Structure formats: C-alpha cells, structure tokens
Amino acid sequence: MNEDFWLTVPIAVVWAILGVAYALVPWGDMIGYAWVWGFGSLLFLGLSGLLLWRKAGAQSAPLGRG
C-alpha cells in the first residue's frame, strides 16, 4: 500500500483526538477550536481515502498506464 496513505491516517487520528479534547475541555470558549481540528481531521481522512482510491485504481490499470 502507498506510504502517503499511512502518513495521512495517523494525522487524521491525531487531529480527531485534538478536536474531541478541545470540545471537552473544562474551560470555556474552546469549541471553535474543536470545529477547526475536527474539520482538519475530515480533510486528512478524505485525502487518505483519495490516496487509497488512487492506489487501487493504479493496481487495476492495464500495463503501461500507472
């Protein structure tokens, strides 16, 4: 599998953990940061999905195309 995929998945997980942490912190006015970290996590998750889809498409392509 592609190395780029395995580099983006942990980033998405860390960003998701940070989003949850910022949403649950006891001091106030941090929910805005939770939205930022959560959205960033979804972006990295989408990027890793695109990388996985691209890798799967390259494996099924005829010889000479990828």
- Rounded to whole angstroms, the Cα distance separating 43 from 12 reads 8
Say if CB 33 and CB 22 are below 8 A apart: yes
Q: What is the pLDDT of residues 9-59, one digit of tens each?
A: 999 999 999 999 888 887 777 778 888 999 999 999 999 999 888 877 777
CA distance 37 to 21: 10
CB half-sphere exposure, 28, CA atoms < 13 A? 0
| CA pseudo-torsion sign 33, 29, 18, 24 | negative
pLDDT recorded at residue 39: 94
pTM: 0.72
